[in-house]
Structure 1
Amino acid sequence: MRAQRPSRARRLRRGRLVNGPRVLVTGGSGFVGSKVVPLLRSSGVRVRVLAHQWSPTAGPRFEVVKGDLTDPATLRGICRDVDRVLHLASYVGKDEERSVAVNVDGTRHLVAEALRAGVDGLVQLSTAAVYGNGPFRRAVEGTVNPRPVSSTSRNRLAGERFVLRAGGVVLRPYLVYGRGDRWVMPALLRMVRALRSGLPDGGSALLSLTEVGSLATTFARMALGSPSRRVTGVLHACPPRPVSLGELVGAAHRQLGFPLTQGDQPFERAKRELIAAGCDSHLLDLFAVDHWFDATRLRAGYGCAPDVGLPAGLAAHAAWYRDQLF
């Protein structure tokens, strides 16, 4: 059963929402969160950040609260006087115990605090990787059953259910790239270096690629605004146009200096070539199989969604990638 929420009128009398919402952010030092927090701060609203090890300097309308998602005692009162919660924290790694503690139990603890405080808006960052290997072509929410293939994806999917049961929103981007990316472009670089005989199926796979700044802007707008009608549940967070693997490799070659893999080879031969080069064949499941997700529902419900195209997105982060990858 959900906790009883104070009425909007009562909350207004307590001084909330008069000057905009008060927003709590978890994962404020992470890949996405580190871009969201400055956007919120520049908007002039009150921001509270849950900090585990990160220690940003507090300031006017910016509060830092020490706490740990895995320790519910440290979260007591974290959502008091908060209107919106952006849950951007997650664990991505091979430690199964840590993954469960953060992605499942940590989300459960946070949602319990949000319900106790009567928070109206709860938005969680998840991933379209929970759907599994595909192919997915213009997939719409609710039409594909999640079949996660990794421990991290299974636990992130398990954590989503607490947010959904509380009437919140779960955003699922697919591949997110940009400054701070330690997964997507490094993995692509490993793959193109190994595929000397050409791209699988000519690089025809269609992918939803989301630039991190555009994703951060979407979260900030969702926290600061109100949809014309209440939209909850799972929403895809991807640009309207997918990018083919061939386009991605070509753009990475031009802007980041990646090797240019030319030619064409069957998928199974490419898999053997990857394995022979010492690479994980799962790279093909990520990049060489259709993963195109439709985000119409997010745009219609909130009037915003990631919209930066690949050329502009890579150009914005090219210097950082070149410095980190080579």
Structure 2
Amino acid sequence: MTNTILVTGGTGNIGRHLVELLRAAGADHRVLARRGAALLPPGTDVVPGDLTDPASLGPALAGVDRVFLLWPFLRADGIEGVVKALVDAGVRSVVHVSALHVTDDDRRAAGVWGEVEQAIVDAGLGHTFLRASGFATNTLAWAAAIRGGATVRIPYPLARRSLIHEADIAEVAAAALTGDHDGRSYVLTGPAAISQADQLAAIGAAVGRSVPFAEQPPEEARAQMLTWGEPAFVDHALGYWASLVDQPEPVTDTVEEILGRPARGFRRWADDHVDDFRPLPGREVADRYVQAFRDGRMDRALRLTAPDLVRVAPLEDAAERTGLDEIMAHSEQLTADLQIHGVTADGPFVEPGGRRFGVRFAFDETHRPTGRRRTTTKFSLYSVHDGAIVREEVYYLDR
């Protein structure tokens, strides 16, 4: 058995920070990815697999000692199969991101997060449970309205939450994965419980202008939430938010105990994410986009794109692809047989006014089936509207 760590959710908000920390620490690790390998720095060991298909996890788990498990679903269906795959592969310990309200006394009563915890315990796996308060990144749901100057509609604006920065969760997870924290359950929160109204004020302070908001009737919020969540989950969430008006979420100093420094506050989070909430001039979009590629930070590049981004690449196929999900799925298909060693970006070449810019990319890659190493060069022409990239036209120069 090696000391290899498998990271699930490696392309998400917490996972990207965790992968960087493990790389910096020299910890042997790999990332499980159904898709989205392009979101990770070049050279990251990415192994395909899907938590909804435990049989697909075998190659990713080979030789793995510890697993960082971020369960991304609103139900625990299928967790038993995943846990069995971990046990069968000889995994020794799991670090799982759980939820604030889970307790050892009655885990299953806490819903999906408690059910996942119980499955891990029942399997006899070593474990560290990170019982986190609400993620500060959930407030990115307001980003489109704030960028557009619209009024943000929220239920229970005085509900107070001890939101936690995703980087703090990642740092605690890295400590648990590389240290001796087995058998521990940590309640992780931000340094203060602040209302949704004050969260919007903090974002406004970071952006440099006030953010208007209006109280949303609970029934209107419920109708919106039912478009993505089941009724039981939605009703529980709304009831929980209502309770936080008079009984705010607790605050702990666990992050400081483990890391030796206080948890990051919400204003710090807003400063770190200011570009998500303010439209950037076209020139700045271009500069930041190219720098993100040079730094190997596709996550930062994608934050500069519109959700309904259109991509056109005539030499790939005749189709226009719309939306990041469709574009990323197509990218994964194109690069399935490629190992990308690095990317260089020349530019940006910005037209007067900043409404369009171009970038020349060179990909150092190996075609796995043949073992042939080559350089593929392309020129991408981007269109910018309201501070976001809305269109990419791709022209291959050497393929």
- Answer yes or no: same fold by TM over 0.5: yes
Partner of 1:8: none
* Equivalent position amino acid for 2:55 in 1: A
Distance in 1 separating the partners of 2:23 and 2:221: 49
The reply to whether residue 168 of structure 1 matches residue 123 of structure 2 is no
Q: Look up the SS of the partner of 2:64 in the other structure.
A: coil
Using the aligned pairs only, state the percent identity. 22
Q: Which has the higher helix share?
A: 1
The answer to whether residue 286 in structure 2 is matched with residue 314 in structure 1 is no
> AA paired with 1:320?
D
Q: Is this contact kept in 2: 1:239–1:305, CA < 8 A?
A: no
Let me know the Cα RMSD of the aligned residues: 4.1
Query: Structure 1 CA distance, aligned partners of 2:7 and 2:222?
Result: 41
More strand by share: 2
Q: Displacement of 1:86 after TM fit?
A: 0.1
Going from structure 1 to structure 2, the CA distance change for 1:272 and 1:310 (only over 3 Å counts) comes to closer
TM-score (norm 1): 0.64
Aligned to 1:112: 84
- The 3 A distance-change label for structure 1 pair 276 and 117 is closer
Cα offset, 1:85, TM superposition: 0.6
Does residue 250 of structure 1 match 2:201? yes
Q: How many residues align?
A: 264
TM-score by length of 2: 0.54
Aligned to 2:164: 210
Q: Secondary structure in 2 aligned to 1:292? A: coil
5 Å matches for 1:69-148?
69-76=51-58, 78-91=60-73, 100=75, 103-105=76-78, 107-128=79-100, 141=103
Partner of 1:159: 116
* CA–CA separation in structure 1 for the residues paired with 2:221 and 2:189: 33
Alignment of 1:1-326 (within 5 A): 16=2, 21-56=3-38, 62-76=44-58, 78-91=60-73, 100=75, 103-105=76-78, 107-128=79-100, 141=103, 154-165=111-122, 166-178=125-137, 185-186=142-143, 193-194=152-153, 203=158, 205-227=159-181, 230-232=182-184, 234-256=185-207, 257=209, 259-261=211-213, 272=217, 275=220, 285-286=240-241, 289=245, 290-296=247-253, 302-303=258-259, 307-323=263-279
1:136-193 per-position Cα deviation (integer Å, ceiling 9, x unaligned): xxxxx55897766xxxxx4444333212333422323222124xx5755459979963
Offset at residue 307 of structure 1 (A)? 0.7
Contact 2:18 2:173 in 1 (8 A): yes
Q: Which has the higher contact order (CA 8 A, sep 6+)?
A: 1
Q: How far does residue 59 in structure 1 lie from its aligned partner after superposition?
A: 7.2
How far off is 1:284 after superposition?
Answer: 8.0
Q: Which runs of 5+ in 1 are unaligned?
A: 1-10, 92-98, 132-140, 149-153, 263-269
Distance 1:297 1:306, change over 3 A: closer
Q: CA deviation at 1:84?
A: 1.4
> Who is 1:136 aligned against?
none
